[in-house]
Structure 1
């Protein structure tokens, strides 16, 4: 048991370091997952409204976004069933991301930074820190599950008064977060650095998300072979199936054993997939600072761009399913009060309106990871070497900012292009302009979020990760905001809400101009503040 020596001392140190983050994590999941519970009741107050919402969720496009519903008749599709159908997947993904980042940062990244080697110079077991992270993550997810179930319970919403059902809903989120944390832990042993481990984990998450989009439309039962699908196969508030929870826990503990075996057999800072040998001579692109920044991010850029294009292609391929759905649903045809052809075109444009908001938030995540490198390099004391040359802070700041802006715009273009190419084969294919304009207008929202990050890195560099809280909020609003009617002030906080949905609306130059001007102003304020502040370390 030498490998576990001082595990609880490491756990105490983790809790002392992270208690504030853990509190924010807990509060965020409550705000994110519990806030929409009562909104479905107001959305489905009459039988006619329930039928409309039911038919809406049969749309293959929405099945791809939220997952399938097992309810067969509109009369059985209650507000509780709608909540249980809509929330598990999107909430799980949000907190999977947080869990993956946390686990890798507290394991592999600490090896990269030399902290793990320092701990092991004392009487600390080889697996002590990993075990402490596992215990902390598991305990947090158990706490989140019980508190979230209790918060839903006290709201006393029709159809959500059974505590076991509420606990099942909360547990589906908690076990997914824990399971993917353990997947990240295994990949952290295989890859040679934290960045590669995160990229591999998120790549696997994205691949399984795309796979489940196809299987949910064609054959739901295949989803049982996809761990991500277990988040909503609980069929909460309808059949309450606990089997996915059991499967997730079993897989989690198998992954823990596998991670232990891998870590115990390798050296500190080593990986089972070694880094490739560099070239004997540097390329000419490294002679400039922009070339250096792009070279550092080359792998991530290629992975993100390729993944986003594929995601756009998959989403675009669903457009062909919409016309089939319209023809098979008399209720939806009556709702639109038009011919099936016109109804298909109308629903396609509404689908694009929702889709581009979601995609633009995902693209924003990519652009943020690029811009955040400015602070992460500073934390690793690498910027000091840059500033030892004649390079000015203005150039460093503007280089990272402009690269992030260009990459965000490029990713949005290629994702929109993927949607356009995929829908060309449908019977109601849209023109290039009809697809590209509604997508590219969201570039202004991406720039705005990046400008907020510029401000954080200039004034509060140690807390620049706060931007992810705002992104999580916009992601939630992108998925649920168009379905649940939140107060106007909540929508006003979401910059993506103010971007005109050109698939169904006319252009609002006033909104776009204000967002563009604020973005530029924030970047300039950040530029001068960054020039004057001290470098951060550690």
Structure 2
């Protein structure tokens, strides 16, 4: 077991270092920035009051729980740290279970002294170690910024516990699904769903009379991230939700081990349907093949975007009623956000459809990362041995990636518009679709960047591609909080994405983003044509 764990740790040492270091730096930078930017109690009271009365803010970040520096840091960063822990855990578990099984590595281990469940046990131990390191980095980062030591370390422990819950869920997905792509997709959807459910519960939160805190609705109890939020490390500490996270993680891990012990190597509890004996006409072209390979993934992203858009419209009456019933809250939002044109419902819609832009970018990145999988697993070499030009093969996948971006964004906008129409706001149908579509050029920039990485540094396509997307999100979401210079914030494409309907549309910015995306794709294709095909 020690050798298995050591081998897995060696393979993941650099990825773990990036995840752990990034989480620690984010926690330290956020705590330092809040302590410097909102040193005065009056300033913290103002930002907390804005959050407690703004459903969009609470959907994205969480519910406030006091005006102390630590409390402000916690509610502004905890949900994002929980997502980081979840994605780290799910990718790690699937990589060392279903992916290694598909590549034949676990079969080699099974031919030796390793038992059937030993690789999964080693993976779960590695997930425990990785989340402990991640949580420790978060705690040390907050401690280094001057926050209370015990409460900072409790925050890190809570983040680690959330990661363990998602690790157990990913272990079950690896037993149920026949491919690593399917297991990764379902596991990532669980993380995203937990974030959205927590966001919906927080958007419906009830603010306190003095606007220094808010109480989430019952929906947040359906999300592990919501459980962690209720620990309240910088408020009235409640350890029962933390114990719930640890208990759920242990239960899910036990179920995964039981499922692994009862199935054959290479099998899955959910079987793939056998394909047809002969390919259809659509598979006779590079574009048709790329579409067939990416279609299930695109459908998954589109479904997630549709759920997100539906939430925007479904929560609209609650947001409007909360503001209509209290004119003082509406006035406070206008006073604390003087630069915003729209009303509170516009701000809420902008925030949720902004997340749709992030989903669209992630769908495009995943479609482009598939290029590297096709190359490293030698399928690209077989195709390129036929009379198929390199540029045509790569552009086929680029076209599917661009299609993925457009479909995901428009599904979110259309779902939001339909939900608005059903809840009494039919005039928002067209504006919702337009607001979601405005994020497409920004998402296409990431498609182009991954294309450049694939052409120049193919082995780093996945880590650099996802890393750039994560960096863009952090700079775009936390740039103001971290007091980053405006020049640094402008590097992120998300900083130039129009926030409709609350902000004004600037067509010039969209044209520049689309041009940059096209130039990046052209550069990536040119670089791929000049290098060798590598495994």
- Calculate the TM-score normalised by the size of structure 2: 0.90
- Equivalent positions of 1:336-415 (< 5 A) are 345-415=342-412
1:495 Cα deviation (Å)?
0.8
User: For 1:428 and 1:410, how far apart are their aligned partners in 2?
Assistant: 23
CA contact (8 A) 1:316 1:423 kept: yes
- Relative to 1, partners in 2 of residues 1:336 and 1:109: Cα closer, same or farther, differing over 3 Å? closer
2:469 is aligned to 471
Deviation larger for 348-357 or 226-235: 348-357
User: For 1:426 and 1:150, how far apart are their aligned partners in 2?
Assistant: 46
1:535 Cα deviation (Å)?
1.4
Deviation larger for 174-183 or 484-493: 484-493
Deviation larger for 501-510 or 232-241: 501-510
- Equivalent positions of 1:243-254 (< 5 A) are 243-254=240-251
Aligned residue-pair number: 519
CA contact (8 A) 1:357 1:496 kept: no
Q: Residue 93 of structure 1 is aligned with which of 73, 83, 107?
A: 83
SS in 1 for 2:397: helix
- Relative to 1, partners in 2 of residues 1:141 and 1:272: Cα closer, same or farther, differing over 3 Å? same
SS in 2 for 1:279: coil
1:221 Cα deviation (Å)?
4.2
Q: Does 1:66 align with 2:66?
A: no
1:193 is aligned to 179
Deviation larger for 123-132 or 421-430: 421-430
CA contact (8 A) 1:85 1:235 kept: no
- Relative to 1, partners in 2 of residues 1:271 and 1:247: Cα closer, same or farther, differing over 3 Å? same
1:345 Cα deviation (Å)?
4.5
Q: Residue 267 of structure 2 is aligned with which of 266, 270, 282?
A: 270
Q: Residue 152 of structure 1 is aligned with which of 133, 142, 145?
A: 142
1:68 Cα deviation (Å)?
3.2
1:404 Cα deviation (Å)?
0.6
Spell out, residue by residue over 1:333-378, the C-alpha distance to the aligned partner (whole angstroms, 9 max, x if none).
333669xxxx995222333333333221121111111121111011
- Relative to 1, partners in 2 of residues 1:499 and 1:307: Cα closer, same or farther, differing over 3 Å? closer
Q: Residue 163 of structure 2 is aligned with which of 177, 182, 185?
A: 177
- Equivalent positions of 1:430-509 (< 5 A) are 430-465=427-462, 466-481=464-479, 485-509=483-507
1:318 Cα deviation (Å)?
2.5
CA contact (8 A) 2:90 2:166 kept: yes
For structure 1, which runs of at least 5 residues remain unmatched after alignment?
1-6
CA-based RMSD: 2.5
2:324 is aligned to 327
- Relative to 1, partners in 2 of residues 1:300 and 1:206: Cα closer, same or farther, differing over 3 Å? same
1:507 Cα deviation (Å)?
3.3
2:18 is aligned to 24
For structure 2, which runs of at least 5 residues remain unmatched after alignment?
206-215
User: For 1:424 and 1:482, how far apart are their aligned partners in 2?
Assistant: 34
- Relative to 1, partners in 2 of residues 1:183 and 1:201: Cα closer, same or farther, differing over 3 Å? same
CA contact (8 A) 2:308 2:352 kept: no
Q: Residue 166 of structure 1 is aligned with which of 152, 155, 160?
A: 152
- Equivalent positions of 1:216-295 (< 5 A) are 216=202, 217=204, 220-221=217-218, 223-295=220-292
User: For 2:485 and 2:265, how far apart are their aligned partners in 1?
Assistant: 51
- Relative to 1, partners in 2 of residues 1:430 and 1:66: Cα closer, same or farther, differing over 3 Å? farther
User: For 1:120 and 1:337, how far apart are their aligned partners in 2?
Assistant: 64
CA contact (8 A) 1:183 1:201 kept: yes
SS in 2 for 1:385: helix
Q: Does 1:515 align with 2:513?
A: yes
1:269 Cα deviation (Å)?
0.8
SS in 2 for 1:37: helix
Deviation larger for 486-495 or 44-53: 44-53
CA contact (8 A) 2:28 2:145 kept: no
User: For 1:260 and 1:153, how far apart are their aligned partners in 2?
Assistant: 37
Q: Does 1:315 align with 2:305?
A: no
CA contact (8 A) 1:361 1:474 kept: no
User: For 2:503 and 2:165, how far apart are their aligned partners in 1?
Assistant: 41
2:530 is aligned to 532
SS in 1 for 2:152: helix
Q: Does 1:102 align with 2:92?
A: yes
- Relative to 1, partners in 2 of residues 1:108 and 1:266: Cα closer, same or farther, differing over 3 Å? same
1:483 Cα deviation (Å)?
5.6
User: For 1:345 and 1:504, how far apart are their aligned partners in 2?
Assistant: 5
SS in 2 for 1:531: helix
- Calculate the TM-score normalised by the size of structure 1: 0.89
CA contact (8 A) 1:90 1:479 kept: no
- Relative to 1, partners in 2 of residues 1:322 and 1:45: Cα closer, same or farther, differing over 3 Å? farther
Spell out, residue by residue over 1:152-190, the C-alpha distance to the aligned partner (whole angstroms, 9 max, x if none).
11211xxx2x21110111112111112211210122112
CA contact (8 A) 1:451 1:519 kept: yes
SS in 2 for 1:372: helix
User: For 1:274 and 1:350, how far apart are their aligned partners in 2?
Assistant: 44
